[in-house]
Structure formats: structure tokens, C-alpha cells
Amino acid sequence: MKQGFLILLLLLIHSCAVLDQKNRVILQGLDAGFTPKTTTAKIALSPISIPIGFTAFMIDGLVLHPFFSLPCAIDDSLWAFKEVPNTYILELIVFPMRIVTMLATFAGSEVFRTSIPIPYSCGTI
């Protein structure tokens, strides 16, 4: 029950971004090279193509798109470590808070970027 709920939660989190055509790298490759021309061929290949397409869709949504959005999420979270002039001893107190802030910002940015189809603004792709 818990595993099914976790899988459902992961699918719901990544559903919007996967529906954007730019975020489906493997599925676009399959569409370009594996689309039969005739209706008979489509019907004959459907027992093979449906599981392959579903697997490609899952890999795109749960592996590739989150991986491609990692550099942008890291770029979003590095603002916590910008230098503040004249902190000296205050830096000892602020540093642990910066680490917590960076991790929270990274996690939030990664979930946001993989859930909502926003363009890559950090220049990685």
C-alpha cells in the first residue's frame, strides 16, 4: 500500500512537466524512428509498442527530466552562499543556517522544476 502511494505521488508530481513535449527525449526518439506507416502495422505492433512507450514515458518523467533540471536547481540554491562583506565571526553562526537554506531551496526548486514545465533559464540546455 505504501509503495503504491509513493509511486502515485511520484507520478502526480512529475505529470505536468512530462506532458510538455520538450521534456520527453526518449519518447520523441521513439516517435521519430518507430512509427509504422499503415494501420495494420500499428495494430500488429501495439502489444510491443504500448509497454515500450509506457516505459519510455516513465524514464523520461522520473529519471531524465529531473536529471536535466538538476543544474538549474543547484544554480537556484547557490544564492545562499553569496558573500556578505564584513561578517567575520557572524559567519560562524550563519553558516549552518546557510546550509539548511541551501538544501531547502534546492529541494523546492527541484520539485518545482520537475513538476511544472518551465523553460531552463540557467543555460544548461
Residue 41 in any domain: the answer is yes
Q: How confident is the model over 46-69, as a mean pLDDT?
A: 86
Q: How confident is the model over 69-78, as a mean pLDDT?
A: 86
pLDDT digits (tens, 9 = 90+) for 9-18: 766 665 566 6
Residue 13: its pLDDT value, please?
Answer: 61
Long-range contacts of 100-104 (CB under 8 A, 24+ apart): 102/77, 102/78, 103/77
pLDDT digits (tens, 9 = 90+) for 109-124: 888 888 777 766 664 4
Residue 123 in any domain: the answer is no
Residue 101 in any domain: the answer is yes
Average pLDDT, the chain: 80
Residue type present at position 66:
P
Residue 94 in any domain: the answer is yes
Q: What's the CA gap between 6 and 8, in Å, rounded? A: 5
- Number of structural domains in the chain: 1
Residue 125 in any domain: the answer is no
Residue 122 in any domain: the answer is no
- Whether pTM > 0.95 for this model: the answer is no
Is residue 22 over pLDDT 80? Answer: no
Residue 57 belongs to domain spanning: 2-115
Residue 89 in any domain: the answer is yes
Is residue 85 over pLDDT 80? Answer: no
